[in-house]
């Protein structure tokens, strides 16, 4: 067959169709590809996608930013004579500010990453939304403490 002649089967693709198999958990960890969702309703429940949606990215950004604010407000509160309400983080704070910040941010980023990877699972998206709402309440509580 010459180069200019059309393929008799009509299929000019050289690679296999990536849509034939669903994205695996390890594939979702790479955050490469273009699959952000599914074409038909109900098709994506319990499946992984290549890229997080805009909503998931905004929720993750908000949660990480709120966690940074929470850490800063907690340190300011502790320096003013208060105490950390979370016993585990209070124990970490006894080792110093740097370990406290490292553990807090590592736990936040790890948790958000796991929830973002599972964005097509009902509990994953619900967890991100609940976490964002929880941080709104927590930042409001910090504002209340500063008002006192």
Domain-located, residue 82: yes
Domain-located, residue 65: yes
Please determine, for residue 3, whether its predicted confidence score (pLDDT) is greater than 90.
no
Domain-located, residue 57: yes
Place of tokens 């370990």: 99
Domain-located, residue 69: yes
Tokens of 38: 């599914």
Encode pLDDT of 93-144 as tens digits: 999 999 999 999 999 999 999 998 888 888 888 999 999 999 999 999 999 9
Domain-located, residue 34: no
Domain count, the chain: 1
Cα distance between residue 59 and residue 53, in whole Å: 10
**19 — pLDDT class (breaks 50, 70, 90):** low
Higher pLDDT, 1 or 44: 44
Domain-located, residue 15: no
Encode pLDDT of 35-61 as tens digits: 555 555 555 566 677 678 889 999 999
Domain region containing 86? 53-147
How many Cβ atoms are within 10 Å of 15's Cβ, its own excluded?
Answer: 5
Domain-located, residue 21: no
Backbone angles phi and psi of 23, in degrees to 5: -70, 135
Domain-located, residue 89: yes
């Amino acid at each position: 067959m010459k180069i200019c002649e059309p393929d008799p089967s009509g299929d000019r693709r050289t690679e296999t169709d990536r849509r034939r198999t669903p994205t695996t958990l390890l594939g979702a960890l790479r955050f490469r590809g273009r699959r952000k969702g599914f074409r038909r309703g109900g098709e994506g429940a319990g499946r992984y996608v290549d890229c997080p949606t805009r909503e998931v990215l905004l929720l993750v950004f908000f949660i990480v930013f709120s966690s940074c604010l929470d850490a800063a407000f907690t340190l300011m509160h502790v320096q003013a004579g208060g105490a950390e309400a979370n016993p585990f983080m209070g124990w970490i704070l006894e080792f110093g500010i740097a370990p406290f910040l490292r553990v807090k941010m590592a736990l936040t980023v790890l948790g958000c990453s796991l929830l973002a990877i599972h964005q097509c699972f009902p509990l994953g998206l619900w967890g991100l939304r609940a976490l964002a709402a929880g941080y709104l309440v927590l930042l409001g509580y910090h504002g209340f403490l500063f008002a006192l």
